[in-house]
């Protein structure tokens, strides 16, 4: 029989204490990683009362650790152009398929352009899960952000690559299907076709954007086909630039006289050249890629896609710009000056971006139909108040001054779905209103889609000299046309 000495007991206690300390350190490190993942998304979605890592209700099918790291994704219903599906991560963040070149550009574009670029918010891996009834759920799993200065090492592709990247998750654990709670469900039939089940009101008022749904269907089909491989797809997290708007009106413009990248195949190059020559891209350096305009008088969205844009003449393009400034029954003249001013500012910034070529990138012009109504009512009330102070009468308001539609008629019903419910709450509208002058409505202009952008920092084989003249040519023509529209609508 062995007798345990005091020395033996002390050694055992020391080992137990060391193991306990190690476990505590590991737990602390895990909590730190989780905090970093949350902070990298800059928790602006506190305003919409939604957890960055998804609600517990949506994550009921997952283990505790997996639920906190997983987010149920939905189609982004305000996508009006492009071919890659945009998904809604939360009310202030969207995600799109990862492309190494674009991922690098979003992190390293010059600070002078920051005002016109959506904020980069990290990376996630997306997987699809199909239940026994044939319904598909897309789930996003946040992964570590690349360190500052890290370029393409994490993507496994060269800087010249512009293809979509895929990556296997760091964890081999299985993830349980998540119950679908969004307003629409995507069903996969046994034949392989994909259909969207939506409520009748969504279809009637145009909440479900046909272009967005088409892109989403194609993305789901691609992911199902690739599931026999890793089953994981990298996506880039970006700022949702329409989250502050209740009824976002969006103009998506394909900019420049050339659309193919330097790495394009001869077949792709010929195809893009023909599209430019057959559209307004060659003549004025810009063409319509997509558009949606909220119609106040009918509570619907008017939409145009890229095929409509390709058929337009230069005169038809200008008429479409004018149509973009109509919200059902009146011309929104207040928008023109802010648009012109921001386009001029962008032009001056791009003049200084030497070696940059923004091939096939797009420009978004965005305003809020509800913001216009609120702005016009404020102007009218201020005018009446000023007249009362001075004792002078005021002339009756015309259709050019005040939209006859009252603001109450387009307030969001908290118990019904309307075109504005997929991007944010009334709180987000207040934020948007506070970020611009009360003397004019808010207009947002952003550059997006950098899959074929090049500059000297990318170490590409071909180096261009000077700024992007094709893009600048398009901006100059936009400024000219909006100026002509403004002058033709002066009282």
Spell out the SS3 assignment of 399-441. CCCCCCCCHHHHCCCCCCCCCCCCCCCHHHHHHHHHCCCCCCC
pLDDT given at position 394 = 41
pLDDT-derived band at 293 (thresholds 50, 70, 90) equals very high
pLDDT in tens, 353-376: 999 999 999 999 999 998 877 767
Nearest to 371 by CA among 250, 486, 245: 245
pLDDT in tens, 211-224: 887 888 788 777 77
In 10 A of CB 472, how many CB atoms?
19
User: Structural domains in the chain?
Assistant: 41-239 (no CATH), 248-371+420-488 (3.30.470.160)
**How does the average pLDDT of the chain come out, rounded?**
72
Q: What are phi and psi of 484, to 5 degrees?
A: -65, -40
In 10 A of CB 196, how many CB atoms?
17
Least confident stretch, 17-21, 61-65, 470-474, 486-490: 61-65
Q: Vertex 424, ends 422 and 425: CA angle to 5°?
A: 120
pLDDT in tens, 449-486: 999 999 998 889 999 999 999 999 999 999 999 999 99
Nearest to 259 by CA among 231, 290, 282: 282
Distance CA 400, CA 33 (A): 55
Residue 40: pLDDT over 80: no
The most confident of the ranges 123-132, 229-238, 245-254, 422-431 is: 245-254
Is residue 100 within 8 Å of residue 155, measured between CB atoms? yes
Least confident stretch, 147-151, 283-287, 349-353: 147-151
- Polymer length in residues for the chain: 491
Question: SS in 3 state form for the chain?
Answer: CCCCCHHHHHHHHHHHHHHHHHHHHHHHHHHHHHHHHHHHCCCHHHHHCCCCCCCCCCCCCCCHHHHHHCEEEEECCCCCCCCCCCEEEECCEEEEECCHHHHHHHHHCCHHHHHHCCCEEEEEEEEEEECCCCEEEEEEEECCCCCCCCCCCCCCCCCCCCCCCECCCCCCCCCCCCCCCCCCEEEECCCCCEEEECCHHHHHHCCCCHHHHHHHHHHHHHHHHHCCCCCCEEEEEEECCCCCCCCEEEEEEEECCCCCCCCCCHHHHHHHHHHHHHCHHHHHCEEEEEEEEEECCCCEEEEECHHHHHHCCHHHHHHHHHHHCECCCCECHHHHHHHHHHHHHHHHHHCCCCCCEEECCEEEEEEEHHHHHHHHHHHHHHHHHHHHHHCCCCCCCCCCCCCCCCHHHHCCCCCCCCCCCCCCCHHHHHHHHHCCCCCCCCEEEEEECCCEEECHHHCCCCCCCCCCHHHHHHHHHHHHHHHHHHHHCCC
pLDDT given at position 440 = 81
pLDDT in tens, 151-165: 333 333 333 333 433
Average pLDDT of the residues in 317-327: 95
pLDDT in tens, 76-87: 889 998 878 899
Average pLDDT of the residues in 49-73: 48
Interacting residues of 229 by C-beta distance below 8 A, sequence separation 6+: 166
Q: Is the dihedral of CA 433, 435, 441, 447 positive or negative?
A: negative
pLDDT given at position 243 = 94
Distance CA 339, CA 366 (A): 9
pLDDT-derived band at 186 (thresholds 50, 70, 90) equals low
Residue 44: pLDDT over 60: no
The most confident of the ranges 60-69, 174-183, 296-305 is: 296-305
Q: Which one is predicted more confidently, 328 or 30? A: 328
The most confident of the ranges 177-181, 269-273, 297-301, 371-375 is: 269-273
Q: Vertex 319, ends 318 and 321: CA angle to 5°?
A: 65
pLDDT given at position 149 = 39
Which burial class, exposed, middle or buried, applies to 365 when counting CB atoms under 10 A from its CB (0-12, 13-18, 19+)?
buried
pLDDT-derived band at 9 (thresholds 50, 70, 90) equals very low
Q: What are phi and psi of 273, to 5 degrees?
A: -65, -45
pLDDT given at position 340 = 98
Look up the pTM and report it: 0.69
pLDDT given at position 379 = 58
Average pLDDT of the residues in 186-200: 54
Average pLDDT of the residues in 287-315: 94
């Amino acid at each position: 029989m062995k007798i345990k000495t005091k020395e033996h007991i002390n050694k055992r206690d020391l080992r137990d204490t060391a193991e306990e300390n190690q476990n505590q350190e590991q737990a602390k490190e895990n909590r730190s990683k989780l905090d970093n993942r949350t902070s990298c998304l800059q928790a602006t979605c506190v305003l919409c009362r939604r957890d960055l890592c998804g609600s517990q209700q949506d994550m009921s099918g997952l283990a505790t650790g997996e639920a906190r790291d997983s987010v149920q994704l939905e189609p982004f219903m305000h996508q009006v152009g492009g071919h890659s599906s945009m998904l809604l991560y939360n009310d202030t963040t969207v995600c799109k398929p990862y492309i190494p070149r674009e991922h690098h550009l979003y992190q390293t574009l010059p600070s002078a352009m920051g005002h016109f670029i959506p904020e980069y918010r990290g990376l996630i891996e997306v997987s699809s899960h199909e239940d026994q009834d044939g319904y598909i759920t897309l789930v996003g799993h946040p992964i570590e952000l690349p360190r500052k200065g890290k370029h393409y090492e994490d993507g496994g592709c060269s800087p010249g690559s512009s293809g979509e990247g895929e990556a296997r998750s760091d964890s081999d654990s299985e993830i349980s299907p998540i119950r679908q709670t969004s307003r629409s469900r995507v069903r996969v039939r046994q034949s392989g076709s994909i259909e969207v089940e939506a409520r009748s009101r969504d279809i009637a008022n145009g909440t479900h954007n046909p272009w967005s749904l088409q892109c989403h269907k194609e993305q789901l089909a691609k992911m199902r086909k690739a599931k026999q491989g890793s089953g994981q797809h990298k996506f880039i997290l970006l700022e949702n630039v329409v989250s502050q708007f209740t009824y976002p009106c969006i103009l998506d413009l394909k900019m420049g006289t050339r659309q193919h990248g330097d790495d394009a195949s001869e077949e792709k190059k010929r195809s893009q050249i023909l599209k430019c020559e057959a559209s307004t891209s060659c003549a004025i350096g810009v063409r319509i890629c997509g558009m949606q305009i909220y119609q106040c008088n009918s509570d619907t969205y008017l939409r145009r896609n890229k095929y409509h844009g390709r058929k337009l003449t230069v005169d038809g393009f200008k008429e479409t710009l004018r149509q973009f400034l109509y919200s059902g029954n009146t011309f929104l003249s207040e928008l023109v000056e802010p648009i012109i001013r921001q386009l001029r500012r962008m032009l001056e910034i791009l003049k200084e971006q030497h070696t940059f070529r923004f091939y096939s990138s797009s420009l978004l012009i965005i305003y809020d139909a509800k913001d216009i109504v609120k702005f016009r009512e404020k102007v009218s009330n201020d005018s009446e108040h000023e007249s009362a102070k001075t004792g002078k009468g005021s002339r009756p308001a015309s259709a050019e001054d005040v939209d006859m539609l009252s603001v109450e008629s387009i307030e969001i019903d908290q118990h019904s779905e309307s075109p504005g419910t997929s991007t944010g709450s009334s709180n987000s509208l207040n934020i948007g209103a506070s970020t611009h002058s009360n003397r004019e409505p808010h207009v947002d202009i952003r550059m997006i889609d950098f899959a074929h952008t090049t500059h000297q920092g990318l170490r590409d084989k071909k180096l261009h000299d000077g700024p992007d003249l094709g893009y600048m040519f398009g901006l100059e023509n936009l400024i000219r046309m909006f100026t002509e529209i403004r002058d033709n609508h002066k009282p």
